[in-house]
Every structure is written in C-alpha cells, then in structure tokens.
Amino acid sequence: MIKNKNDYLIIKPPSGLLNIDWNELWKYRELLYIFAWRDIKVRYKQTVIGIAWALFQPFVTMVIFSFFFGKLAKVSSEGVPYPIFVYSGLLFWNYFSSSLTNASNSLIKEQNIIKKVYFPRLILPISATVTHLIDFGFSLLIMIGMMIYFKMQLSLHILYILPLLLIITTISSSGIGLFLSSVNVKYRDVRYILPFFIQILLYLTPVIYPVSIIPENIRWIMYLNPMSGVITIARSMFLNTGNIDYMSLLVSLFISFLYFLFGIYYFKKMEQYFADII
Amino acid sequence: MTEPIIKIENLGKKYILRQKEKYITLRDSLNNLIPNLLSKNNREEFWALKDINVSLYDGDVLGIIGKNGSGKSTLLKIMSRITYPSQGQLTIKGNVASLLEVGTGFNPELTGRENIYLNGAILGMKSIEIRKNFDEIVNFSGVEKFLDTPVKHYSSGMYVRLAFSIAAHLSSDVLLVDEVLAVGDAEFQKRCLRKMGQVAKSGRTVLFVSHNMQSISDLCNRVILLSEGKLIGDGKPQDIISQYIDKIRNVADKENNINTEGRKGTGLVKIDKVEFDNLISGEEARIKMYYSSAKRNDKLINCRVAFAVKDLKYNLCFICSTEMYFEDNLQLNPTGILECTINKLPLGEGEYVVDLFFEENNVVVDWLKDSMIINVSAGKFHPGVRQVPKGHEGKAGTLVEHKWSTL
C-alpha cells in the first residue's frame, strides 16, 4: 500500500483489509471531473443528436410500455394514467441501469490508461456513474412535461426528496458498479452476462407495476433492492399515489450504503491486480 | 552524499503464470472449479524482478538496460505505482511523474485543445498548471493551426508531437521514461532527446528505459543492467553497455548460436541457428537462417523473415527482409533454411548486433532482439586507401558507395 508521509512516497506490497487514501482521492478530484467532462463532451459532441437521443430513448420506452403493459395487459397503475406511472419509474430506472452498465465496463474500457498511468482507480467507476446525471436531467424535462400534460399537482416535498433519491440511486449503482467492474476485469465474460442481469433486475423492480401488487408478506424482499424504494417514493412524490414512506426511504438509504461499502471493499481488494490482469 | 531521492530495497515482483490463456472467463473458472480442488497447485510462480537494490541521488539520470523480459518495464511500472511489488520496499522523496507512453487516454473525438487538458490531467497535472503551460505546449508541438480539430483527423506525426509536448511539460522531482522516444520522425526524436537532456540538467532525477545505447550513453550518468529479473550490473554507462554486449557475445559465440533470452512471439516457428559466412567488408556475404516448427506440418503462409544489423550503439545499419525480395504471400516449408546474399557487405570492420524476426500471416512467431554479435573483418569496400574516416575505426556505421571529383 502507499502512504504519503510528508514528502515521502513509500511503495510496498499491499497489506491490511481496507485502507482508502482519502487525501489522495481528494487530490485527484480534478481527474474525476475531467473524466466525466470527457464522457459528456464525447456523447453530446453532435449536440442535436446527443440531446435528441437522451430525450427520445426514455420517451419511446414509455410509449411502448404504456401500450403493452398499460393498455393491453392492463397492469394496475394505482389510479394515475399508466404513461406517467411507468415514466416516473423509468426515470430513475434508466439512470440506475445506464450508470451501472457504464461503471461496470469502465475499467475494461480504460485498460490502456490503467496499464500506463497511476491514479486512484476508484475514480473510473465513480465518474462513469456521475456522467449519467446529465441524461437524468434531460429525462426529468419529459417528466415535467408529462406532469403538466396530465395536470399533476407538484408537491413541495420534491425539493428534498428528489436529491435524496438521486443520492440513493447513485451510491447503489456505483456500489454495485464497483463490484462488477472489478469482477469484469478478472472474468472477461461478465460483460456479456451484464445486460441480461440488468434486464432481470428491471422485472424485479416495480417499474412497470406498482409495489402494491406484491403480497404483503413477501414485500420486504423488495427492499433489498434499493431501487424499489426509490421508485415507490418517486411515485408518491410526483403522482401523489400515497404518503411518502420515510421508513422505506431510510431502509433504501441504508441498503444502498451497504452495497456501496461492499463494492468499495471488493474493489480495493482486487485493485492491486488490475494492471497485471487487465 | 545526502539522503537518496529513490531508495529501492529488496524489491521483487512475482507473477502467477496461468496456462496459455490470455485472460480467464467466469465460465472456465466454474468448469475448472472441481478439477482445481482435486489437483492443487498447478500454478507456476515467476519472479519478474528479484532482490533489486538501488539508491539514486539528486540529479542522477539512470539508464535501465536489458533484454526483453528482463524486468525493465516491471521495475518502471512498480515505481510509477501501476502495479504493486510482491516484496521489498521503494521510497521516493518528492513527487513522481511517469511516461510509459505518450498520448495515454487521448480521445480521438476531442480536439487537440481538449486533449491537452484531458491528457494533462491523466498524467497528473493540475488544470492551473496546464493553463499556465498551454501556449508553450502548443508551440512545442507545432500544431497551432489544428488546435480545434478533433485529433482523429491528425496525422500520426502530429498526434505524437502533441502527445509528447504535453508530457514534456510535466513538472516533478522524479521522472520515469520508457522508450517514448522510439516514436515520431527523426527530427522530432532529436528534439525530444534535447528536451530530455534539459530535464536531466535541471537537476531532476530521471529514470530512462531504452534499447538505444546511443541515447542511454548520451543522457545517463549511470546505468543498471537487468537480466532475468536480477540486477547484474550497475555503473558508468560505457562499462555497463560493454558488459551487456559481452553478455550477448558469450552466449552467441557457442557454435554461432543465438542468444534466446527475451525471445518474443508465439513460438510456432523458431529460428534455431543463423550462420554468417564471409563477413568481410565489401565482399559477398551469405547468411543462412535455420528455422523449424514443431507444431506445423503444412506450409507456412504469408511469411516475413528478416534480420536487422545494428552497430554497438544500437543504431540501425540496415534490415534485410524477405518482403523486399519475394512477392507477397511468401510460402515456406515448416522447417527449412533461408539464405540471404548481400552482394557487397556495406559494413566497416568491427562488431555489430543482430535482431532476428519471423512472422507468419501477420502474427509474430519469433522475434529475437540482440540475438547475436557478428564480427566484420576489414576488406576493400572502397577503392581508395582508407575504408573508414579517421577516428571512426570500428564505428563507421553503414558504408555507402560514392565518388568524389573536383569541378
């Protein structure tokens, strides 16, 4: 492990369970911004297409889901129009799934840099997660448009609940992303399983259906998935489908922290081998 | 002397050799779970570096030489913290910048200007620092006009120039450099060397890995020689470079055989032996390359076989390659002998280093750097009295036929 004592840099074989050099991480924060800036810049380089895609993709998903699940399958939507019901779920789900995918592939994608330059590797998955906040912003515009269209009342809770939900989503996707990105370095076939895993997760999360259709006695299982809590609370907040469940907010926050800690732990454990096996 | 800037103590790096696969997959791991539990320890350990002890002081410019696979790059990688040591300790006073490659992290979609900021940050520069040096970086690179063009439209020369210019403006107490000079055109390489010389003179500690003995002896005040992960020489550039060349000679002398340390390539075909006949300056020289393939019975397709001759400073004299003589898609028997004839050997009296190269269908199957030392005897290349200019005996480089006249 590496220690900075005054001006001395000591490099020796890694030992100990988990030591994160927070000072160093702070010193490298600029690199985190730069990576995020680069990803955003490259994605929105062709500004029109970039932004159009960020708007188009969630919108079309919403239309298709509304048609098949809302109109044909008649999935319950707790009394609000199905399109806005499913969109409020997709809003957070898309942010979660795309940042998770991006974070999981971040190390493999930047293997050339990892092999040639030192910097705290934690930066890569985390910046990959944060980058998708921009897309979230664009998707939120559609949400606002739909709320106006469906004449929804905007509750003031949004001011503090929305940031909290974003924090929960970000730390759980980067936590799981940290874990998966290190597994991905070791086992190169993981990236092929990943889309399938995320697909499954979509159906295990109340995006296209309300959490209320799950039998009460097994509903607690849903809360192992912080996105269940996030989406259910997002609905109470945007659509007034019920009171905000503060208990579930706390549970989700707690669970997402657990995922994050586990992710960091596993990542740090594997970090020493990255350059050798990538 | 005062305290060392860099102190390397008993440093070692161990790799676990896996079987042939380049990377492992989850599927294979699951499949092998049971067999692996039953037969324990089929893993092989390999020490890429072992028991390295070196101390460097302020202003030292250290050259690291050795064959491929001798541990040079591993040492640099540990020092630049890309990989961890398995044992020992390394203490560095001050901050370190490493240049194992130029242009790391360049994004082709971004413009030159944007890449300066991106690459600078990746190399560890603060954005204030980059802004401060921005004009100088641009001037040095000579790409002002294309600053706002995405680098994907750059020529490879421009790309490398920009990349090196950023790297050259890194400020740190210790600089680690790995053969980045092997890129770009000759003129730019010279500029890079000059820049490196300036850095060295400014009193910073520099570590420099290179195959080019010329730049090593020009830049460094001290050289270490690595072989199979061990430090076998440490001293003045001239002494260590001769030690290195002696080492190749010792192995190579045994019945004209080749020194196979640091061999690269897939090993599908191996060059077994090379015979140089009639190595006399200006006469017809014949070179026989014996090769064999243990694994193939069918014809080898699309082959490219070559040898390169370098002087003892590792400056390239010439390359003889089959691709310059045969049509494309040269087919060869899996085992055989190739003969090359040089009509009039353009080398002065002295010793030269030879690299050997064998490629099949765009895959390098055997590549031996510094595989042998050849000895060219004096002859009559030029019709005049003198064969090489005064003071260049034994280091004349390549000879060229030429005439003079007074007008």
CB contact under 8 A, A12 and B88: yes
pLDDT-based confidence at A123, cuts 50/70/90?
very high
Distances (CA, A) of A223 to A213, B143, B148: 15, 56, 50
Mean pLDDT, consecutive 10-residue stretches, chain B (407 aa), reads: 84 76 68 62 78 89 88 90 90 85 85 92 88 91 90 87 85 80 66 76 84 83 92 92 84 64 84 89 91 86 92 87 87 91 90 91 89 86 82 78 87
pLDDT at res. B37: 58
CB-CB neighbors (< 8 A) of B80 in chain A: 117-118
pLDDT on residue B39: 56
Q: Which residues pair with B207 in a beta bridge?
A: B62, B176
Residues of A in contact with B123 (CB under 8 A): 117
Whole-angstrom Cα distance, residue B248 to residue B65? 13
**A38, A119, A186 member nearest B107 (Cβ):** A38
Does residue A13 fall inside a structural domain? no
Rg (CA), chain B: 24
Assign A2 a pLDDT band (cuts: 50, 70, 90).
very low
Is A74 part of a structural domain of the chain?
yes
Residues from chain A that touch B119, judged by Cβ atoms under 8 A, are: none
**What pLDDT score does A8 carry?**
79
Strand residue runs (E) in chain A? 2-5, 8-11
Compare CB distances from B80 to A10, A118, A193 and report the shortest one's residue: A118
- Examine residue A5 and state whether it is found in any structural domain, yes or no: no
CA distance A14 to A113: 21
List, in order of start, the domains of chain B with CATH numbers: 6-243 (3.40.50.300), 256-376 (2.70.50.60)
**Beta strand B96-99 pairing with B174-178:** parallel
Maximum pairwise Cα distance, chain B:
87
Overall number of domains in chain A: 1
Q: What is the pLDDT of residues A159-216, one digit of tens each?
A: 889 999 999 999 999 999 999 999 999 888 888 899 999 999 999 999 999 988 888 8
> How many other C-beta atoms can be found within 10 angstroms of the C-beta atom of residue B95?
14
In a domain, A124, yes or no: yes
| Predicted local confidence at residue B340, as pLDDT | 93
Say how many CB pairs under 8 Å bridge A and B: 105
The reported pLDDT for the residue numbered B250 is 74
Count the neighbouring beta carbons within 10 Å of the beta carbon of residue B252.
20
CB contact under 8 A, A118 and B114: no
Test mutation, A6, A34, A179, A191, chain B, max B CBs within 10 A: A34
* Set of chain A residues whose Cβ sits within 8 Å of the Cβ of B85: 11-13
Residue B303 tokens read as 């082959």
Find, among A100, A116, A207, A164, the residue nearest to B99 by Cα.
A116
CB distance B294 to B300 below 8 Å: no
Average pLDDT of the residues in A37-66: 84
A22 located within any domain: no
Q: What is the predicted pLDDT for the residue at A153? A: 81
pLDDT surpasses 50 at A4: no
Q: Considering CB atoms only, which of A8, A186, A189 is closest to B93?
A: A8
**B49: region left, alpha or beta (phi > 0 left; psi from -120 to 50 alpha):** beta
pTM equals: 0.80
Cα distance between residue A156 and residue B152, in whole Å: 48
**Among B266, B180, B249, B243, CA closest to B215:** B180
Give the pLDDT score at B226: 92
- Inter-chain CB proximity B81 and A186 less than 8 Å: no
Residue A68 falls inside a structural domain? yes
Give, in degrees to the nearest 5, the angle at Cα A108 between A102 and A113: 110
* Chain B residue closest in CA terms to A41: B110
Chain B contact probe: residue of A117, A196, A271 with most B CBs at under 10 A: A117
Find how far residue A217's CA is from the centre of its chain.
28
Neighbours of B217 (CB within 10 A): 17
Those residues whose C-beta lies under 8 Å from the C-beta of residue A120, and which sit 6 or more positions away, are A21, A24, A25, A28
pLDDT tens-digit series, residues A233-244: 999 888 887 788
Cβ <8 Å between A117 and B100: yes
Say yes or no for a CB contact (<8 Å) between B90 and A14.
no
Nearest neighbour of A13 by CB, restricted to B25, B86, B101: B86
pLDDT of residue A5: 43
Q: What is the pLDDT of residue B55?
A: 92
Contacts of B347 (CB under 8 A, 6+ apart): B279, B281, B309, B317, B376, B396, B398, B399
Structural domain range at position A130? 35-277
Neighbours of B44 (CB within 10 A): 10
Residue A1: predicted pLDDT: 35
Cite the DSSP H helix spans in A9-81: 22-27, 29-43, 47-65
Residue A97 lies in a domain: yes
What is the percent of chain A with per-residue pLDDT over 90, rounded to a whole number? Answer: 51
A49 is a domain residue: yes
* Closest by Cα among A50, A246, A210 to A138: A50
Instruction: Find the chain A residues whose C-beta atoms sit closer than 8 A to any C-beta of B.
Output: 2, 7-14, 30-31, 34, 38, 41-42, 45, 110, 112-119, 183, 186-190, 193, 272, 275-277
CA-to-CA distance for A77 and A207, rounded, in angstroms? 10
**pLDDT computed for residue B222 by the predictor:** 93
Backbone angles phi, psi at A168, to 5 degrees: -60, -45
Q: Closest chain A residue to B88 measured between Cα atoms?
A: A12
